[in-house]
Amino acid sequence: MGDTPRVTLRLPNGETLELDVETARLGQDVIAIAPLLQHDVFAYDPGFLATASCQSAITYIDGEAGVLLHRGYPIEELAEHCSYLSVSYLLMHGELPDQARLDTYVDDILQRTPVRDNLKRIVQSFPQDAHPMSILGAALYGMAGLYHSEIDIQDETTRYHIACQMIAKMPTLVALCHRHNLGQELIEPQPEFGYVENFLYMLSGERPDPKLAEAVDKLLILHADHEQNASTATVRVCASSDTNPFAALASGIGSLWGPAHGGANEAVLNMLEEIGSVDSIEEYIERAADSSDPFRLMGFGHRVYKNFDPRALIIRGRCEEMLAMTGQADNGLFQLALRLAEIARQNDYFIERNLYPNVDFYSGIIMSALNLPKTMFPLIFALGRCAGWLSHWNEMIVQGYRISRPRQLYVGQERRSVPAQVGQPKRI
C-alpha cells in the first residue's frame, strides 16, 4: 500500500496543517480533521451536511445513482428474496444467516414477544388520546428499568440477547399502543404465528392473510436501516455515554417522531387529502414551485438521494399489491399519488432539482390500508428501523468509541459583569 493521502489546510493564523485523507471502500473519502483541535480551531458544519461522524460497514448509499446496499446487498434483492428477520440478522452480524442460524434466531425472538405486566401498565397509564409515539418511548424507558442491572454491553452474548429482546418486543409494544388508543383490550401474541403475522394479529385480533403479512414484512425491510439518519445518529450519540441500550433506542424514538423524519409519511397523507382530486394537482404544483407560498409537496426529494429513492420504486409495487388484496384497488389517495408523481416529474421545477418521490410518498398509503390512524405511522417506521438502530449500537460497541461531544461556533455576548441592581424573587 502507498502512503496515506493528505491535504494541506491553511489555518486562520496563517500556519499550514496537513490532514490525512481516509479512503472509503465505496463513496466519498473523508478528511480526518481531529488534529484541528490541537490548533484551537473547529470545523463548522451545521446539520452535519459534510461530516462523517463514524466508520460503519452496515449500509452504503449512493444518492446520485439511487443505490442502497445493506452489507453489500442491494435493497432490491433483499426485498425480493429475504424476510425482515433475516435482514435484521444481516445488519447485526454482517452476513445473511443459513437456515439453521435463521431458525435459531427466529426462535430466540419469538419466545420473547410477550411483555411483562409492568410495561402494560406503563402503556395503560397514558390518556387514551395520547400520541402513541410518546407511549412507545415511555415503554422503552420502562424496558431500560426492567433490564438494567444484568446488562454488560461489552459482552457479545449479552448484546445478542438485548437485540433479540428489543426486536421481539417492539411489535408487541406498538400493538399495545394502538389498542390502548382505541380503548380496546390488549391482545397477547400467539406462539403459532410468525413475526409479522403476530404483529398484525395483535393489532386487529384477526388472523391475517399470509400475503398481507408478506407485504408488511417487505415494508419493514425497506425501513430497516438508512445509514446515519437523524434517529440513528441520535441513538449513537446517546449510546456513546454507555447508557442503557433500551434508553438509547428510546432517544431514537424521540428523533424519529418529527415530521421531517418518521412523521413524513403522515404529512404526505395530509397533503394528498388537502389536494383532494386530480383536477387540483396543477394548482398545488405551481404553489410548491412558488418560494413565497408556504405549501410544499411532501414526499419528494431526500437529503441523500439526488436521484430516485430505490425504496420508493419497491414500495410503489407493494402498495398496489396490498391495496388489491385488501379490496382497495381503486383507492383514491393512491391514484391521486400516482398522478401527482407523474405530473410533478414533468414540471421544470422538479426536473431541475431532481425531486423524485421518496419512500414516504407511498408508505403512508400502505399503512392506511391496514386501517391504522396516521398517528401510528411513525410507530411502524420505528418497528422496522429498530434493527438498524441495534446494528449501529452493536457496531459502535465493537469498534470502540468516545462519548460524542460536538463543539460550537459561539456568537453570544462577550464576558460581562452582573449589574449591582438586579431583580430578586420574592421567595426562594
Q: Which three cell numbers stand for residue 7?
A: 491535504
Instruction: Please name the amino acid found at residue 105.
Output: Y
Q: Quick one: pLDDT at residue 1?
A: 43
Look at residue 328 in the predicted model and tell me its pLDDT. 80
- HSE, CB side, 13 Å, CA atoms: give it for residue 381: 29
Residues, the chain, total?
A: 428
Give yes or no: 348 in active site.
no
Q: How far apart are CA 288 and CA 353, in angstroms?
A: 13
C-alpha cell read off for 365: 398509503
**Which single residue is written with the C-alpha cell 389517495?**
333
Residues of the chain with pLDDT under 50: 1
Q: Which residues contact 69 (CB under 8 A, 6 or more apart)?
A: 26, 59, 60, 61, 75
Task: State the DSSP H helix or E strand holding residue 140, giving kind and residue range, or none if neither.
Answer: helix 132-146
- C-alpha of 367 from chain center: 16
3-state secondary structure of 127: coil
Determine the pLDDT at residue 68: 95
Number of helices (H), then strands (E), belonging to the chain: the values are 17, 6
Query: Which of 188, 101, 91 is CA-nearest to residue 388?
Result: 91
Q: How far apart are CA 60 and CA 272, in angstroms?
A: 31
* Whether the Cβ atoms of residue 308 and residue 350 lie closer than 8 Å to each other: no
Candidate list 180, 302, 309, 392, residue with the active-site label:
302
The predicted pLDDT at position 172 comes to: 98
d(CA 312, CA 265): 12
Task: Indicate which residue of 217, 225, 309, 360 is catalytic.
Answer: 360
Residue 398 identity (one-letter amino acid): V
3-state secondary structure of 390: helix
Cell of 267: 404529512
- If we measure between CA atoms, which residue out of 357, 158, 396 comes closest to residue 272? 357
261, 309, 330, 392: the active-site residue: 261
Q: How far apart are CA 262 and CA 257, in angstroms?
A: 5
Q: In 3D, which of 165, 223, 222, 176 has the Cα closest to residue 198?
A: 176
Identity of residue 17: L
Query: Given this model, what pLDDT does residue 349 score?
Result: 85
Predicted confidence at residue 359, as pLDDT, reads 85
Is 302 a catalytic site residue? yes
Tell me, yes or no, if 309 is annotated catalytic: no
Under DSSP, is residue 239 helix (H, G, I), strand (E, B) or coil? helix
Cβ atoms < 10 Å from Cβ of 49? 7
Q: Nearest 5 degrees, angle CA 322-CA 328-CA 332?
A: 115
In angstroms, rounded to a whole number, what is the distance separating the alpha carbons of residues 365 and 387?
23
Q: What is the pTM of this model?
A: 0.90
* E strand intervals along 27-142: 30-31, 59-62, 67-70, 73-74
Which residue type sits at 269?
Answer: L
* Contact call for residues 286 and 44 (beta carbons, < 8 A): no
Beta bridge partners of 74: 69
Name the strand (E) or helix (H) holding 264. Answer: helix 264-275
Q: Phi/psi of residue 159, each to 5°?
A: -65, -35
Q: Which amino acid is at 317?
A: G
Cβ contacts of 24 within 8 Å, gap of 6 or more: 30
